[in-house]
């Protein structure tokens, strides 16, 4: 549904995009992640015909975004970071206006608006002026204008920016529903949104794609974290013997409770398998071992590892 091939964008001497390439299949919900200034919004603006690329090529539904810009825009529903609303209009008037300028045939407008209102949960507020609505409802109106012409592709740039936690959950559920009927590209800073809503993750950093794959695929490519061990034994003895027998592997207390203590053993400096060494230590001392496993990296760990360095590290799944 979307093909991006060596896409570049330069602002003066600054290279916002450095030849990125990716594709999005029909029905996918793709999370487009990256720190501020990574190139996310620039990519979305090129896909929607708002900006011209400096180099490379992009297509939507097989149509070139430069050569067939108007046809591409007809196939896209776009919610930019700043929701484009006319606050003095009523919700129903605004959606009727958008449906008209989007070219929805007159005999289908009523049903198209009703579908958008139902999907976005706006039934109770259609007769209200937009300026009366909470920010969460205004964001819903923004999503409704993006889908009123029933486009195959939705491009959503920071759809939950500035919302409170309850509103974020509501909009996230809405995006999940929209993903059942549309191909969705979602740009966000909130990793929970991606984990809950997206089937695939693309991470961009300094104008380059540094990771592309499902959440599980990207996590599996990161090394396992420290060793977690829950033991029922004297704390001082555990810490002392770990320090003596596991050199280079600092041991710290994570939590205490129910007569047991959870320890974290840093395995970065290990010269031998730490699990085996710790298990022998438990048997030797007659301690009660209740839990022993490696920490599982999270999507946040992957994101930070790929975007905190000065030079992008590429990790493709």
What confidence score (pLDDT) does residue 87 get?
Answer: 93
Report the distance separating Cα 51 and Cα 49, nearest Å: 6
Write the DSSP assignment of the chain as a string of letters. -EEEEEEEEEETTEEEEEEEEEEE-TT-EEEEE--TTSSHHHHHHHHTTSS--SEEEEEETTEETTTTHHHHHHTEEEE-SS----TTSBHHHHHHHHHHHTT--HHHHHHHHHHHHHHTT-GGGTTSBGGGS-HHHHHHHHHHHHHTT--SEEEEESTTTT--HHHHHHHHHHHHHHTTTSEEEEE-S-HHHHHHH-SEEEEEETTEEEEEE-HHHHHHTSPP--EEEEEES-HHHHHHHHHHHSTT--EEEEEEETTEEEEEE--TT-SS-HHHHHHHHHHHHT-EEEEEEEPPP-HHHHHHHHHSSSS---EE-
All structural domains of the chain with their residue ranges: 2-220, 227-294
Q: Is the pLDDT of residue 199 over 60?
A: yes
Domains 2-220 and 227-294 share a fold: no
pLDDT on residue 270: 64
Residue 17's pLDDT band (cuts 50, 70, 90) = very high
What is the CATH architecture assignment of 227-294?
2-Layer Sandwich (3.30)
Of 252, 253, 316, 263, the C-alpha closest to 293 is 263
Using CA atoms, how far apart are residues 134 and 270, in angstroms rounded to an integer?
A: 54
* 298-303 average pLDDT score: 80
Residues 93-140: tens digit of each pLDDT: 999 999 999 999 999 999 999 999 998 889 999 999 999 998 889 988
Distance from C-alpha of 239 to C-alpha of 237, rounded to nearest angstrom: 6
Give the pLDDT score at 59: 96
Give CA–CA dist 55/57, Å, rounded: 7
- List the one residue out of 317, 313, 239, 305 whose CA is nearest residue 278: 239
Mean predicted confidence (pLDDT) in 219-243? 84
User: Would the CA dihedral through 14, 20, 26, 32 be positive or negative?
Assistant: negative
Rounded CA separation 193/212 (Å): 17
The tens digit of pLDDT for each residue in 277-288 reads 888 889 999 999
Mean pLDDT of the chain: 87
pLDDT of the residue at 183? 92
The conformational region for residue 154 under phi > 0 = left, psi -120 to 50 = alpha, else beta, is: beta
- Would you state the pLDDT for residue 201? 92
Does residue 224 register a pLDDT over 70?
no
CATH code for residues 2-220: 3.40.50.300
């Amino acid at each position: 549904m979307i093909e991006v091939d060596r896409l570049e964008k330069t602002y003066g001497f600054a290279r916002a995009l450095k030849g990125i390439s990716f594709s999005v299949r029909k029905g996918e919900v793709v999370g487009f992640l990256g720190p501020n200034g990574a190139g996310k919004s620039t990519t979305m603006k090129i896909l929607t015909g708002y900006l011209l690329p400096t180099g490379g090529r992009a297509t939507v539904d097989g149509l070139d975004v430069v050569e067939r810009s108007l046809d591409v825009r007809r196939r896209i529903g776009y919610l930019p970071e700043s929701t484009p609303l006319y606050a003095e209009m009523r919700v129903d008037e605004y959606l009727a206006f958008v449906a008209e300028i989007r070219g929805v045939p007159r005999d289908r407008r009523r049903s198209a608006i009703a579908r958008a209102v139902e999907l976005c949960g706006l039934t109770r507020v259609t007769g209200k002026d937009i300026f009366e609505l909470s920010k969460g409802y205004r964001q819903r109106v923004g999503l409704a204008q993006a889908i009123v012409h029933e486009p195959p592709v939705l491009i959503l740039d920071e759809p939950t920016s500035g919302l409170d936690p309850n509103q974020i959950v509501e909009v996230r559920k809405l995006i999940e529903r929209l993903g059942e009927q549309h191909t969705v590209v979602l740009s966000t800073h909130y990793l929970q949104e991606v984990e809950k809503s997206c089937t695939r993750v693309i991470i961009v950093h300094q104008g380059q794609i540094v990771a592309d794959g499902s959440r599980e695929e990207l996590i599996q490519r990161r090394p396992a974290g420290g060793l977690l061990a829950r033991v029922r034994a004297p704390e001082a003895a555990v810490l002392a013997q770990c320090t003596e027998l596991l050199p280079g592997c600092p041991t710290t207390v994570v939590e205490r409770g129910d007569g047991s203590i959870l320890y974290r053993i840093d395995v970065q400096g290990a010269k031998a398998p730490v699990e085996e060494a710790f298990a022998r230590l438990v048997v030797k001392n007659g301690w009660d071992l209740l839990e022993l496993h490696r920490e599982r990296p999270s999507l946040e760990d992957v994101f930070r590892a790929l975007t905190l360095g000065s030079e992008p590290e590429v990790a493709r799944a």
